[in-house]
C-alpha cells in the first residue's frame, strides 16, 4: 500500500477497509422495486470446492466490481446480468438482459521473434547460475540496485504502420507528413515492439525443453489496435469453474496484415542489431529462412501468436443499445439497469487502447473514486436541504 498511498494516510484509513482472504464471490443478489433493480447483498463463499457455506454482505450504498476483463463479466453473468439466452442456458435467473456483458473481448496479440545470444547477454544466466542470482538478490535487498531493481521490459518501440512499406516493413520517407491533417487514427501507433532479454514464448513446456539453458533475446511484436474480438462466457453456474474464453485472435484479416508487418519490422531490427555488432547467434523463433514469403510469415504468426494479458472491453462503456456493440456501463461506470453497481477496471474501455493498460486503469479508478465522493457529497447536501 505504501507504493500508492503514504503509509501515514493508509494507516489512518485502515478501519475503512476489510479484506476477506481465501474468498470467492458467488453472486450479487439484486432486488426489484418500482424504480428498477438494485444490488441488495453480495454472497461470498470460501474459495475452492471444499465448502458450500455462504456468507452474506448487505449493500448499504453500492457495489464496485473490479475483477478485470475476465472476472467482471463472469460475476455479472453469475448474478443474472448478461445475455438472456446464455444465462437461461446455465439455469440462471435473468435479472437484466444485457447482451454486451462478456462480448467485445480485446487483447494486444503478440508474436515473439527471438534469437539465441551469449548467456551473459540474457537474464537466463541468473537462473542457471545460483551464485550470480544470489549476488543480484542481495544487491537488490540491501542497496536497491542491480538487475532485479529493473523491470523486465525497460523500453518499447511504438510504430505507426502507415509509415512502413507493406512488403518490407522498412520506413517510407515522408509517409507521416502525407498523413498530416487526415484521419487522426493514422497518427496513432498501431504496432509495438518490446525488446526482452529473455524468452518471450508463452509455452512453458517448450521453454523448459529448449530455452531454459541458453541465452535468449526477444522482440515481442504486438498489434495495438486490433479489430478482432472475442468473448467471455460461463462454463457453468458454479463460480469456481473458470469461464470459457475465446480471444478471437486474428479473426479479422486486418490484424493479420498488421502482425505480418510487425514481424517483418522485428526481423529488420534484428538485422540492424547484428550489423552493429550485437551477438545474435541464431534464430530460435523466426519464420522460415525464406521469410519474404507471405505464407511462411503467416504460418509463423499463427503458430507463435500469444496473449500479452491486456484484456479489455468486456463491460464496455457505451449505450445499452449502441449499434456498434451493446454497452454495459454508462459514463458513471454504472451497470445499465442496476442502479447501484459500478464496474471499475479494464473491461469498461469502449475499445482497447494503443498502450499498456495499467496506467489507464489507474486513471479509471481515480475517476471512479472521484465520482463516488461526488455522489456522497450530493447526498449529504440533499439531506441538509
Catalytic residue numbers read: 310
Please name the residues in contact with 30: beta carbons below 8 A apart, sequence gap of 6 or more: 37, 38, 39, 40, 79, 80, 81, 95, 338
What is the C-alpha to C-alpha distance for residues 68 and 77, in angstroms, rounded to an integer? 14
329 with 315: CB under 8 angstroms? yes
Give all strands (DSSP E) within 165-293, no chain letters: 191-196, 215-223, 231-233, 244-246, 282-285
What is the C-alpha to C-alpha distance for residues 330 and 348, in angstroms, rounded to an integer? 9
Burial class for 257, CB neighbours closer than 10 Å (0-12, 13-18, 19+): middle
Count CB atoms within 10 A of the CB of residue 253.
10
Determine the number of helices (DSSP H) and then strands (DSSP E) in the chain: 10, 14
Q: Which of 174, 167, 323 is nearest to 257 (CA)?
A: 167
What is the C-alpha to C-alpha distance for residues 282 and 289, in angstroms, rounded to an integer? 11
Amino acid at each position: 500500500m505504501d507504493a500508492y498511498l503514504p503509509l501515514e494516510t493508509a494507516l489512518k484509513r485502515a478501519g475503512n477497509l476489510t479484506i476477506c482472504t481465501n474468498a470467492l464471490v458467488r453472486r450479487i443478489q439484486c432486488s426489484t422495486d418500482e424504480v428498477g433493480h438494485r444490488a441488495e447483498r453480495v454472497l461470498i463463499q470460501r474459495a475452492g470446492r471444499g465448502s458450500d457455506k455462504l456468507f452474506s454482505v448487505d449493500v448499504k450504498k453500492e457495489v464496485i466490481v473490479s475483477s478485470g476483463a475476465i472476472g467482471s463479466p463472469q460475476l455479472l453473468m453469475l448474478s443474472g446480468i448478461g445475455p438472456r439466452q446464455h444465462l437461461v442456458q446455465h439455469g440462471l435467473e435473468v435479472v437484466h438482459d444485457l447482451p454486451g456483458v462478456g462480448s467485445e473481448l480485446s487483447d494486444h496479440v503478440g508474436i515473439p521473434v527471438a534469437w539465441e545470444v551469449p548467456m551473459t547477454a540474457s537474464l537466463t544466466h541468473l537462473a542457471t547460475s545460483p551464485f550470480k542470482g544470489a549476488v543480484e538478490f542481495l544487491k537488490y535487498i540491501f542497496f536497491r540496485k542491480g538487475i532485479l531493481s529493473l523491470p523486465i521490459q525497460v523500453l518499447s518501440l511504438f510504430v505507426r504502420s502507415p509509415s512502413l512499406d507493406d512488403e518490407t516493413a522498412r520506413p517510407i520517407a515522408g509517409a507521416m507528413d502525407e498523413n498530416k491533417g487526415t484521419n487522426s487514427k493514422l497518427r496513432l501507433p498501431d504496432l509495438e515492439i518490446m525488446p526482452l532479454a529473455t524468452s518471450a514464448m508463452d509455452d512453458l513446456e517448450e521453454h523448459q525443453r529448449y530455452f531454459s539453458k541458453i541465452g535468449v533475446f526477444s522482440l515481442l511484436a504486438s498489434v495495438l489496435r486490433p479489430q478482432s474480438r472475442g468473448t467471455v462466457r460461463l462454463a457453468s453456474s458454479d463460480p469456481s469453474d473458470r469461464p470459457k474464453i475465446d480471444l478471437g485472435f486474428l479473426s479479422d484479416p486486418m490484424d493479420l496484415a498488421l502482425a505480418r508487418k510487425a514481424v517483418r519490422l522485428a526481423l529488420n531490427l534484428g538485422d540492424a542489431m547484428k550489423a552493429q555488432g550485437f551477438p545474435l547467434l541464431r534464430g530460435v523463433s523466426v519464420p522460415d529462412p525464406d521469410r519474404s514469403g507471405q505464407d511462411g510469415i503467416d504460418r509463423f504468426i499463427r503458430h507463435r501468436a500469444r496473449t500479452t494479458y491486456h484484456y479489455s472491453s468486456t463491460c464496455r462503456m457505451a449505450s445499452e443499445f449502441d449499434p456498434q456493440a451493446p454497452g454495459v456501463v454508462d459514463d458513471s461506470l454504472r451497470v445499465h439497469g442496476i442502479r447501484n453497481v459500478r464496474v471499475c477496471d479494464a473491461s469498461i474501455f469502449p475499445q482497447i487502447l494503443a498502450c499498456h493498460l495499467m496506467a489507464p486503469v489507474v486513471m479509471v479508478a481515480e475517476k471512479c473514486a472521484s465520482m463516488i465522493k461526488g455522489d456522497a457529497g450530493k447526498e449529504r447536501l440533499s439531506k441538509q436541504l
